[in-house]
Structures are given as C-alpha cells and as structure tokens.
Structure 1
C-alpha cells in the first residue's frame, strides 16, 4: 500500500500524507503507475459529467481542466521537453541532453503542448457524445502501462529519477496490468490499440531521442491517452 501511495504522489497532485520511503520503495512505485490511472480517470470522468449538465463542450472543458489539474501538467511538461529536444537537437546527442536539462520551454514545446490540449478538448467533446463516462477510467489506466514497457525495453537516457525505476521493474507487474487491459478490451476493444501504440512510442524514442527518461514517460502517457481516445472514436 505504501508504494501505491508513493505512485499516486509521483503521478498526481492528490493531497496525500508524507511517507517514510527508501530507494527500493521509490523504484518499485512504477509497478503501481497504472493504478494511478484509476484515480485520474475517475476524477476526469466526474468533472466531465458535471460539465455535461451544461452541454458537451462544457463537459469536455471541465474534463480537460481536471485532467491537467490532477496530474499537475506533469506529463504535458514531458511532452514539451521532448518536443523541444527533438526539434532543436538535430541529431546532436550533446545538444539534446542540454535541451532536456534546460528548465525553459522553447517554441517546439509550446506548440506541442498547445496542440495536445486542443486535441484532447476536441476528442473529449466527440467522445462524450458516444461513450459512457466510466470508459475514461480504462483509457487512463491503460496509458500508464506504457512506462512499464519503456523502462525495461529502452536504455536510460541519463541518470535521474526515471532511471531508478529499472531496478523496481518486475515482469509480474507488467503481465498483471497487461492481462487486465486485455480483459477490459472485451468491453472497450479500442484498448487493444495500446499493443501497437506503446511499442511505437518506444521505437520513436529509441530512434530520435536515444532512450527513456522521465520526460519520455510523461510524453508517452499524454500521446497514448489521445491515441486511445482516437481509437475508440474510430472503432465505435
């Protein structure tokens, strides 16, 4: 339970009590990342449902605002950093590392974040017309299975918080969450698109960035969420 709470502290802005943890606990928290998607999904669905009392656009806006607030824009920040690195480094690994380490955001990052927010707003607006609110929960959960794959498959881009997750990775955790997503796919078939989207993002990171980092995880989660929403709309 302590590691679940730690995962929630890492992945959300929920007000949770401080914990006495060590490096082993921190590394093992990655096994609970998909569970944090349940909390995020429920909050986003609740906010979207509240907005639907006004109209679908309000539902989409409320849902998006809750999505950004509950995650603290953490994943959007990663998306912006990855966009800046890919756009400005031009294949130079030294410059790529410098761009990723720069706390300031560049034009590529601004555009990527703006496009992602617009995409999610429109996708939520269309999605709310076609699906019950509870289906947001498996979408958000499944998107957070990605880090369990990328941590194991990709080399660490640099030493940092994300590189510590490798020692906490366990095959059993990945298989358990993957089996849950597979079962949920019988009710939400579009979830199976994650079997393509997760390795696709990993391949892009390996070829363009060179490995995985916290930014890569965050950007991947954002893109997976949008990709799964698109898949649901296409397969409805």
Structure 2
C-alpha cells in the first residue's frame, strides 16, 4: 500500500495526470521518499502515449512517432524538456558555476536551450520511428513503456548519486533520496528493461540499450560535477531525456 501511495505522489510531480488529494494524507511533502516508485510512475505516464501509438499504427512511422512524443510532452507538462533547455542554456551560457546556476533559474529560454529541445524531439521521434518501422505493434508498445520506466529509474539514481548544487532549489527542498530507495528504483528499471526490450528484440537489445544508458548516466553525471558541482531539478529532467534517447539509440543499434 505504501508503494501505491508513493506512486500516486510521484505521478502528481512527474506528470499532469489528475491525482486525488487523498493520496497526500499524512504526507510530509518529501518527494525524495517516493523515488523508488519513479519507474512505476513512468509506466503509467506512458499509457496515454501507448494508446496513441496503437491508434496511429496505420500511419507512416514518422507521423505516429511524432504524435507519441507530443503526447508524452503534454502528459508530463514538458517537465523534463524544460529541465533540458535550462541545463543547455546554463552549462554553455555561463562562465562560472554560480553564473550557470543563475541562468538555469531564469525562465527565459536562450539559443542553447532552443537547440537542445529541437534536437531532443527530433532524435526521439526519429529513433522511435525506426523502432516502429522494424518491430511489430506489441513490441513497439513494450519499448515505449519500458523506455519511460527505465529513464525515470535512471533519474532516481542520478538524483541520489550527486550532491545538491543549489541550496533551496526544487531538488534540494525535496530532500535527498536514500541509496536503498534509488537502488530499488534502479532494480525495477532493470527488470522492466529486461522484460520489455528482451520481448521486443532479444538479449542484444537489452545489452546495447543498457550500455548506452549507462554511458549517458556516467557522462552526464561527470558533466554536472564539472559545470555546477552537482545536481539541480533541471539536471534531473535533462537526465530523463538523455536516458530516453540513449535507450532508444541502443535498441536501434541492436536491430
């Protein structure tokens, strides 16, 4: 029951899906305590996009993929895309950690952020279209659901692995996830990856997608340490985007 409570609370933060206030009774407001349910929330977040994928399967693959990506953006309220844009602007528009954090806090989007959003949408659409062209409907649905779950498991572990870079920021105020909670989320993500990508394209797909996601995780973690000394709420969103792209890229390589 506690895991169900955590899942509903995670959904309220990670998406625009309606969540009843009854799930927040006796809740201390700490999102960090809910991270073990992030991959489960990712499965639920994928459902509207999965319905759209099934309904548009007769369309050209690129058109269907673009509609799926659009629905995912609407479902999350562009939460992760906003983080990616802020990270791109801050990391490459500022000359010092403090200045980068200031730029990331600004709601305006600059050239780096705009380009990052364009590239993210194009990459996700192109990779998903390739998947749709190579695999059947059921396999494609498994990939979509698995990707949304595993990318949020990576987000949870990323949050726990790096120190907070901004005192009083969204991620800092939400608390620090425990290693046990983050590892639990990562374990669920690993199981979902094995089941979904294994069903879709076999063992090679699991290995390739897992390897690419690990490289993205380690690379972005190192970049965050170098640029701002840790993580913020924006970098959590960016991590989800990088994880999604790397998982799909690994699968496409394996096909």
Same fold (TM over 0.5): yes
State which of 99, 104, 114 in structure 1 corresponds to 2:103. Answer: 99
Structure 2 equivalent of residue 135 of structure 1: 143
Query: 8 Å contact 1:79–1:216 — kept in the other structure?
Result: yes
C-alpha distance in structure 2 between counterparts of 1:75 and 1:201, whole Å: 15
Q: Deviations over 1:210-236 (max 9, x none)?
A: 210110000110111011111100012
Is 2:48 aligned against 1:30? no
CA shift, 1:25, in A, is 4.3
Structure 1 equivalent of residue 171 of structure 2: 162
Structure 2: tracts of 5 or more residues without a match: 199-204
Is 2:172 aligned against 1:172? no
Structure 2 equivalent of residue 185 of structure 1: 194
CA shift, 1:165, in A, is 4.3
Q: Please, which moves more after superposition, 177-186 or 8-17?
A: 177-186
CA shift, 1:43, in A, is 2.4
Correspondences of 1:215-234 after superposition (within 5 Å): 215-234=234-253
Q: Deviations over 1:137-172 (max 9, x none)?
A: 1111111112322222211011222114444x2333
Query: 8 Å contact 1:31–1:170 — kept in the other structure?
Result: no
Query: 8 Å contact 1:145–1:178 — kept in the other structure?
Result: yes
Correspondences of 1:24-173 after superposition (within 5 Å): 25-90=30-95, 92-131=96-135, 132=139, 133-158=141-166, 159-167=168-176, 169-173=177-181
CA shift, 1:105, in A, is 1.0
Query: 8 Å contact 2:157–2:185 — kept in the other structure?
Result: no
Q: Please, which moves more after superposition, 115-124 or 170-179?
A: 170-179
Q: Please, which moves more after superposition, 125-134 or 108-117?
A: 125-134
C-alpha distance in structure 1 between counterparts of 2:134 and 2:243, whole Å: 19
Structure 1 equivalent of residue 228 of structure 2: 209
CA shift, 1:202, in A, is 1.0
Structure 1: tracts of 5 or more residues without a match: none
CA shift, 1:179, in A, is 2.9
CA shift, 1:102, in A, is 0.9
Q: The residue matched to 1:4 in structure 2 has which SS?
A: helix
RMSD across aligned C-alpha pairs, in angstroms?
1.9
TM-score with structure 2 length normalisation?
0.84
Structure 2 equivalent of residue 5 of structure 1: 8
Query: 8 Å contact 2:56–2:64 — kept in the other structure?
Result: yes
C-alpha distance in structure 2 between counterparts of 1:177 and 1:32, whole Å: 6
Quickly say closer, same or farther: Cα 1:21–1:101, change in 2 above 3 A.
farther
Q: The residue matched to 2:158 in structure 1 has which SS?
A: helix
Q: Please, which moves more after superposition, 6-15 or 53-62?
A: 53-62
Aligned residues: 234
